[in-house]
Amino acid sequence: MKFNRFKKVLTVLGAAAVLSSCSAKFLEVEPYGKSKAEEYYQTDEEVKLALVAAYDMLSTDQFQGWSSCYVIKNLPSDDVNCGGGNSSDQPQYQELDDFNWHPENLGIRSYYHINYFGVYRANLIISSAPEDASDLMKRMIAEAKFLRAFHYFELVTAFGDVPLWLVPPVELQEGKARTPKAEVYAQIEKDLLEASEVLPNKSTFAGTGDAFRANKQAALGLLGKVRVYSGDYSGAIAPLESVIQTEGSEVGLEADFESLTLQTTEFGIESLFEASFITNGDTWGTTEWNRNAHDNRHIQLSGPRELNEIEGAVPEKEGKLRSGWGFLPPTKVLFDAFEPTDGRRDGTVLDADGLAKYYGQEFVDGWDTEGLVRTKYTSFESETSTEDGATPELNYTTNWRLLRYADVLLLAAEAYYNQGREADARAMLNKLRQRAGGLADYDASVSGQTLFDAIVKERRVELAYEGSRFWDLVRWGLAAQELSDLGFVAGKHEVFPIPLAEIVGNPGIGQEDQNPGY
């Protein structure tokens, strides 16, 4: 279920914010319908509307150019090629795929600004709420803290040191220097700890129109992830175990891996937190191709570019794939990373034989493809709509799963391994292998470096197309080993460059503050 009220609320609020990290360029025009913060956000209803605007940043597909955080996080990995129509199709994507990174890349700029928009909207709520807040308002403030932590985690992972804004700026020209990464991590942890103490359990929102909201398990799971990413393995175990202990009542694994990224399992037992897209197929009509969309346009962007039906075929599965625009096609090395009997492979990527067998279709190889088709977050007919003449390319409404219980188990496995608890680490991995089907459990012979290699592999195959692979390689120190043939340069490509627009617009940051190599 998605939320059409997003569009109505944002019309009232006038999008609520026009700030990235305080570049004056994004503050020149007062948004239509925007109340001054000190006069607004004083009642439960006002905070509720502002919070919807804050959640809306999670599903913002476009900002400058055809860019999104989802696509940008996946492109640098060895799981995907850029694809598209040709080598000049969406140059910001081609540059990211080729490690031709520079401060004017529109995708990198979009990633930076989208997340700072989210920070700004969360800060408005946190800093403006009255001292005599109701219990409902306290919960909504906790949600805002979760969202602020989420966006700062995205930023610190991708850029390293970043300006840490905890209140909205007062002056148009107010600037802020980059804050050391350790301080940003400390604030993220503080926000998540405070949020986890107030937010209700996931089941509180189950089956309601509030299922999109942050919950206790999401806050604790994200806290564990933040600590693993920062290298605090001992500190990660407690929040991750707090989530694992609720397995069966609050969280769990879906029985069918192939359904994980379809509408049928949205807000299900495995999804701790996700970004929502509106559901009515006729919402955007038939012509508005270049607006800030609230459909999941990047499902269409990533569908296979050309498909044909095989005459006389008797598919083993229901449904079909629709043709898309061919971005993020899978690589052969991703396909080969799966054990041949791993049930997760068909739910992630198919070769020509699999596509013909399951769907009675054939794929026409094109630019930057390797004879493979993705089946995870892709253009299935069932995920879009043609109701009332709606354009199907504009009406994919599949939610992004931003944190899954499977990731919690994998993070716990990594934390246990680094604390010498190898049996516990294997147990976490085996839960996922048992769900996948066709795989033997890891036994005690899988130990030491072999166990670490298993963790690396299991994260790759379980979380393919979920934006984890590149950042995992970076934090493990394996990026140069795995990606140097693709253009990765050690000492440079571990982080994105700070966008030129930020350097120009933020008086607190100069070219001398740019990340190394840019």
Least confident of 3-12, 86-95, 312-321: 3-12
pLDDT band at 344 (very low <50, low <70, confident <90, very high): very high
Judged against a pLDDT cut of 70, whether residue 28 lies above it is answered with no
DSSP class of residue 485 equals G
Question: What was the pLDDT predicted at 384?
Answer: 86
Block residue for tokens 């899988």: 446
Judged against a pLDDT cut of 80, whether residue 254 lies above it is answered with yes
Q: Which residues, 6 or more positions from 354, have their beta carbon under 8 angstroms from its beta carbon?
A: 346
Q: Sign of the C-alpha dihedral, residues 19, 20, 22, 23? A: negative
Residue 327 φ/ψ, nearest 5 degrees: -85, 155
Q: Sign of the C-alpha dihedral, residues 334, 96, 223, 451? A: positive
pLDDT band at 36 (very low <50, low <70, confident <90, very high): low
405-482 maps to which CATH number?
Answer: 1.25.40.900
| Average pLDDT of span 463-477 | 98
Question: What was the pLDDT predicted at 62?
Answer: 61
Element (H, E) at 508: none
Q: Which residues, 6 or more positions from 34, have their beta carbon under 8 angstroms from its beta carbon?
A: 13, 14, 16
Question: What was the pLDDT predicted at 484?
Answer: 98
Query: Could you tell me which of 508, 506, 504 has the C-alpha nearest to residue 103?
Result: 504
Question: What was the pLDDT predicted at 295?
Answer: 74
% of the chain with per-residue pLDDT over 70: 88
Higher pLDDT, 381 or 372: 372
pLDDT band at 24 (very low <50, low <70, confident <90, very high): very low
Question: What was the pLDDT predicted at 280?
Answer: 55
> Residue 340: exposed, middle, or buried by beta-carbon count in 10 A (0-12, 13-18, 19+)?
exposed
Question: pLDDT tens, 11-20?
Answer: 334 333 333 3
Helices (H), 57-212: 69-74, 91-97, 106-128, 135-159, 181-198
Question: What was the pLDDT predicted at 29?
Answer: 37
Average pLDDT, the chain: 89
Provide the total of helices (H) and of strands (E) in the chain, helices listed first: 18, 6
Question: What was the pLDDT predicted at 434?
Answer: 98
Block residue for tokens 């996931």: 202
Give the pTM: 0.92
Assess contact for 309 and 363: CB atoms under 8 A: no
pLDDT band at 167 (very low <50, low <70, confident <90, very high): very high
- State the span(s) of the chain assigned CATH 1.25.40.900: 405-482
Question: What was the pLDDT predicted at 41?
Answer: 83
Question: What was the pLDDT predicted at 60?
Answer: 77
Establish how many alpha carbons lie within 13 A of residue 488's alpha carbon, considering only the half-sphere containing its beta carbon: 22
Task: Give the separation between CA 55 and CA 2, rounded to whole angstroms.
Answer: 12
Distances (CA, A) of 375 to 218, 333, 346, 407: 26, 16, 7, 19
Higher pLDDT, 288 or 96: 96
Judged against a pLDDT cut of 80, whether residue 329 lies above it is answered with yes
| Average pLDDT of span 462-481 | 98
% of the chain with per-residue pLDDT over 90: 77
Question: pLDDT tens, 396-435?
Answer: 888 999 999 999 999 999 999 999 999 999 999 999 999 9
Question: pLDDT tens, 380-392?
Answer: 988 887 777 777 8
| Average pLDDT of span 339-351 | 97
- 3-state secondary structure (DSSP) of residue 274: strand
Assess contact for 100 and 496: CB atoms under 8 A: no
| Average pLDDT of span 363-369 | 93
Question: pLDDT tens, 194-253?
Answer: 999 999 999 999 999 999 999 999 999 999 999 999 999 999 999 999 999 999 999 999
Question: What was the pLDDT predicted at 286?
Answer: 44
Question: What was the pLDDT predicted at 501?
Answer: 96
pLDDT band at 288 (very low <50, low <70, confident <90, very high): low
Question: What was the pLDDT predicted at 279?
Answer: 58
Question: pLDDT tens, 483-508?
Answer: 999 999 999 999 999 999 999 999 99
| Average pLDDT of span 318-346 | 96
> Residue 100: exposed, middle, or buried by beta-carbon count in 10 A (0-12, 13-18, 19+)?
exposed
pLDDT band at 68 (very low <50, low <70, confident <90, very high): confident
Distances (CA, A) of 383 to 62, 114, 279, 302: 20, 25, 10, 13
**∠ CA 96-97-100, rounded to 5°:** 50
Task: Give the separation between CA 188 and CA 223, rounded to whole angstroms.
Answer: 8
Question: What was the pLDDT predicted at 173?
Answer: 73
Judged against a pLDDT cut of 80, whether residue 290 lies above it is answered with no
Judged against a pLDDT cut of 50, whether residue 371 lies above it is answered with yes
Q: Point out which residues pair with 404 in neighbouring strands.
A: 271
